[in-house]
Structure 1
Amino acid sequence: MDKILRQVQEQPSYAAQVLLVTAAVLRIQSERALHPRVLDIALGFGADAIVGELPTAVALDATDRARAVLPPVDDTVTHGEYALRLDSIAKTV
């Protein structure tokens, strides 16, 4: 039982997984400047991939938690740079 509990505790949270998939989506065009709308689309892909089949309450909670830790977007950051930020933040969620 301890082994199973340890495995569950070591898995990233749903919110962290959403951030990691969002980062992967952004890396597809890593050199492009990031715009808020593109981030919303990438986050939507991440949420659909990770929590799309889960109960609504769980999916909304994970997506809200992921969205709450997103760093601000400005016109100087690229998709790749922002993806690195998401990777780092995902470790803390």
Structure 2
Amino acid sequence: MDKILRQVQEQPSYAAQVLLTTAAVLRIQAGRPLHPRILDIALGFGADAIVGTLPMPVAVDAMDRARAALPPVDDTVTHGEYALLLDAIAKTV
């Protein structure tokens, strides 16, 4: 039982998993400048992959936490640079 509890506690939160998946999607075209619409699309892929089959209250909570953790989109940042930010933020949510 302790082993199972430890595994659950060590697993990233759903919000963190959404951010990490979003970062992976952004890395596909790492050198391109990031536009807010592209971030929304990548976040949508992350949401579908991680919380798409979870009960609605759990999914909504995870997405609210993930969105609240997003840094502002600056038109000088690339997909890859933003992905690095998401990786770091995912460790805190």
The TM-score with structure 2 as length reference comes to 0.99
1:17-67 deviation per Cα after TM superposition (whole angstroms, max 9, x unaligned) = 000000000000000000000000100000000000011111111011000
How many pairs were matched up?
Answer: 93
**Identity across the alignment (%):** 86
C-alpha separation in 1, matches of 2:5 and 2:91? 19
Write the mapping of 1:24-63 to structure 2, written as runs, cut at 5 A: 24-63=24-63
What root-mean-square deviation, in Å, do the aligned CA atoms of Structure 1 and Structure 2 show? 0.4
C-alpha separation in 2, matches of 1:75 and 1:15? 25
Moved over 3 A (4+): none
The TM-score with structure 1 as length reference comes to 0.99
C-alpha separation in 2, matches of 1:78 and 1:92? 22
Stretches of structure 1 that go unaligned for 5 or more consecutive residues are none
Stretches of structure 2 that go unaligned for 5 or more consecutive residues are none
